[in-house]
Amino acid sequence: MIEPRTLKGFRDFLPEAMIPREQLIDTARRVYRSYGYSPIDTPVLELLEVLQGKGGEESDRLMYHFRDHGDRAVGMRFDLTVPLARFAAQHIGVLGTPFKRYHIAKVWRGENTHRGRYREFMQCDFDTIGTESVAADTETVLVVHDLLQAIGISDFTIHLNNRRILNGLLAQLNLADQSGPILRALDKLHKIGADKVAAEMAATAGTSDEQAHQVLALSRVSGTNDEILAQLEQLLANNETGMAGIETLRAILRGAAAAGVESARIKLDVSIARGLDYYTGTVIETFLDRLPEIGSVCSGGRYDDLASVYTKERLPGIGASLGLDRLLAALEELQLIEKTATTAPVFIPYFDRDRLDDYLKLAAELRQQGLGVELYPESRKLAAQLKYADRRGFRFAIVAGSREFEAGQCQLKDLRAGTAQDLPLDAAQLATVIRSQLV
């Protein structure tokens, strides 16, 4: 006999965990689709050289890769961005631009499993490829906004930055070629403080005191969005790149306001950078006001060129990704997830052995009224069946035996409220009553 178990770093999803996952994925799809993003899918396995791209040892070490039956070096995708780049390079002629796609699928990374990391997880990405218009930036922010709202979270803040602001400042200070070490130093600001960051910049990027002071001035920019914009304009008055970044921020704020987004939902935040090299313009992170410590639940940004490893065609774009597992953990902590192990609201106990066909008929008629119905498959004692219904989390039970079938009556039990009422055995009437009580 073989011991039934999962691999370390992998997990099963039982119904109680899978039902809210499916619901969240459904909501993401619905919101993505409402903006005209279309679904695509790509293979889990790709040629190793395609997945490696210009990625270095890091991706190699994390990637599940092996030789297939034809002795080809193959790997399991570790994100959805590399497959999108390959896909776009291969099909863009057919797809045309702008191309808006979503892709909700699993990826695998052979990482260490300490700190609760899993080796298999779901990504929920959406991207707009082939345009540099700020309309796409604004829309990306709107999708994030609508998504959080549709999930049922009202108190969240979208942090917005533009990488051209720092780039502009560095150019203005003649430090454009030192952006790597400077970003790495700035990234430690919260941990080690301004003095040590200045010291590190001097050591690794050769900054003067004045240069370090100016760079750190950017991290002191704060206040309302309008105040931040005013401070940034002062800092970057003479720099075209920086001013373009500021103008993009302004345009996104204007567009989001026009689309009805409350101003408190978007906060300019020059401290977010998201990936030192990848993003080139707009950068987005999203925090839950009641759980900021879990980090960003939806992040993304603009990139200059998606697929330069695979094609000479330049493919700029912008996109973001919903952190499904993180968000589910947050929803659980905020008690926004209703625990249930069933997908159907109505349970029919089968307790009169000779009436199976009547139960099947009643269940079918209720389904035709649009209600999910589970019929217990065996004629057992009513109490045992109702205990099963309670454990599963059904909301209603419709109880009928021979006497009730003959009288055209039944009992509708509200299993949550613990109440019951006698009703005519009529699917349309039952459905009306049930729907009026299903909140």
d(CA 124, CA 110) in angstroms, rounded, equals: 20
Residue from the set 194, 237, 259, 384 that interacts with its own copies by CB under 8 A: 259
Residue from the set 45, 183, 272, 382 that interacts with its own copies by CB under 8 A: 45
Does 365 interact with its own copies (rule: CB under 8 A)?
Answer: yes
To its own copies, the closest distance from the beta carbon of 186 in angstroms equals 32
d(CA 406, CA 387) in angstroms, rounded, equals: 26
* Residue 264 exposed, middle or buried by CB count within 10 Å (0-12, 13-18, 19+): exposed
* Run of H or E including 211: helix 209-219
CB contact at 8 A, 285 and 314: no
Q: Which lies closer to its own copies via its Cβ, residue 12 or residue 57?
A: 12
Tell me the residue length of the chain.
439
Window 371 to 430, contacts with its own copies (CB under 8 A): 371-378, 388, 391
d(CA 63, CA 108) in angstroms, rounded, equals: 7
Residue from the set 33, 188, 190, 220 that interacts with its own copies by CB under 8 A: 33
Residue from the set 80, 136, 205, 431 that interacts with its own copies by CB under 8 A: 136
Does 357 interact with its own copies (rule: CB under 8 A)?
Answer: yes
Contact residues for 117 (Cβ-Cβ < 8 A; gap 6+): 9, 111
Number of residues that bind its own copies (CB under 8 A): 113
Residue from the set 176, 243, 294, 309 that interacts with its own copies by CB under 8 A: 309
Does 82 interact with its own copies (rule: CB under 8 A)?
Answer: no
Does 437 interact with its own copies (rule: CB under 8 A)?
Answer: no
CB contact at 8 A, 136 and 98: yes
Q: Which stretch binds its own copies (CB under 8 A): 59-67, 177-185, 222-230, 270-278?
A: 59-67
Q: Which lies closer to its own copies via its Cβ, residue 22 or residue 333?
A: 22
Does 93 interact with its own copies (rule: CB under 8 A)?
Answer: no
Window 106 to 125, contacts with its own copies (CB under 8 A): 106, 108, 110, 119-120
Does 6 interact with its own copies (rule: CB under 8 A)?
Answer: yes
Q: Which amino acid is it at 16?
A: E
Residue 116: φ, ψ to 5°? 65, 20
Q: Radius of gyration of the chain from Cα atoms?
A: 28
